[in-house]
Amino acid sequence: MLAAQLIRAGKRPYLDFLFPQTPLNAYWVAMWMRVFGQSWRMIHAWASTLTILAILLTSDYVLRRFPVAEWRLPLTLVTIVTVGLNTQVFQFGAIGQAYGFCIFAIVLAFRFTVLTPDRGNLSWPALAGFAAGAAAAGSLLTAPVAPVLFLWLFFQNRTGNRWIKSVIFLAGVILAFLPLIWLLVEDPRKVLFNIFDYHFYYRQMDWEGAIQHDIEVLVFWVDSSQALLLASLAAAGLFFTARRSNWDRALRGEFYLCGWLALAESIHIANAHPTFGRYFLFTVPFLAILAAAGLYWISSRLFEDGRLWTPVVALTIFSLFAVGKAIYERRDNMDWNSFEQVAKKVQKVTPPSANLMADEFVYFLLRREPPSGFEVGDSHKLNNLDSKVAASMHVLPRKDLDQQVAAGRFQAVETCDDDDDRIVALHLPQLYTNREEVSGCVVYWNWAAAQRGASPAKNESRMNRR
């Protein structure tokens, strides 16, 4: 959200501020900020809308393509429940990050791709390539989707020239990456640092137990009944498609594609160190399509009297309980109401022209441009960067941050960091005479040295000379 706000103000990602992600979602949000204003509600509404469209596109595929007519409607509802009430999709598909944008793009790319083999019109591979490219240009977590769709299209093509279609598909992918390519041409070093170096060399820094964390995430499905059920039904659906169904080869190929997409995404996400359970939401639409086939196979064997709706009702009730449990467990988490209370306090004690050290959400809510190096709070851990390199990449290492705090550069400091050692290291209680806790965060203001006649500006000047 903060990146989109900076873009809205005329800043360029990578060149003017650190942004270790591909930029298309940020540009998308910035575009809508120009129309509807810089509200977090608007951003969440767009993310929710795109997630809902992804759910509808996934379920519509089952409605149109599942070959057993009397099971189409029940399995369509199963798909809506399986995707829409998946706890990861439900919780993260509606937030300001790129999840909603990308899950919509990958499902759209899948729908366009499966239409392409039997059509000679080149607009279909172009649209498929653009949608797949847009997903990766919004988040590299979806990067495997484009190559998997490209290979499937090449080998499954049945009408027209496969080589021309493949080239058109690639052209669509490239078109989606034009904003990134433009920035890359302007300054390759900065763009590559943000997109590749940051993730390969710096993302795990200052995180003890990162490997243990990754292992726990990768086996989370053992403790998650919902994930275990989805994976089991998807595996049953893939087995049924391959071994027990009498579907035509083209249709089976589409279900195999769902399996390949889920597998490629899972392997890619598992190697995103550190990884998180929410990343795997990009596999859910494709697993849900396979799960529909699996549920059909299992139910048709268990219920010989043709009770179609029994498994649908059971799965819906189970999914509602899973989502309810997830909501209950997050009941004490900070939300935008808490953030707004913190921002109001910061605004009250900090003049508009004063330097402010704060979390990203405070800059966003107050529409204040953060000091260089504060656009991504996590980047302060990059202490081993050369000072000139850090400055050119808009990175403020923690050692330099500590010096700026000690010199009184910031008239106010806001932090939600619950690391007591970090608070002690910054000496915030000693440096500021006023302190107030708001919604789990702490705001410090009135630099103590200023009360003794010292000037923060002079101290900052001395620090710069050193």
pLDDT of residue 202: 82
CA distance 415 to 19: 21
Residue 414 phi, psi dihedral angles, 5° rounding: -120, 135
pLDDT of residue 217: 82
For residue 146, give the amino acid letter.
A
What is the token pair recorded at 108? 């759209």
pLDDT of residue 304: 67
- Measured from the Cβ of residue 351, the count of other Cβ atoms closer than 10 Å reads 10
What is the token pair recorded at 421? 């050692």
Over the chain (466 residues), the average pLDDT of each successive run of 10 is 96 96 96 95 97 98 95 95 96 94 98 96 97 97 98 96 97 97 96 92 74 80 85 95 91 97 96 90 97 93 76 92 91 91 96 93 96 91 87 92 91 83 79 92 85 54 49
Exposed, middle or buried by CB within 10 Å (0-12, 13-18, 19+), for 402? middle
pLDDT of residue 282: 98
pTM, entire model? 0.92
pLDDT of residue 466: 47
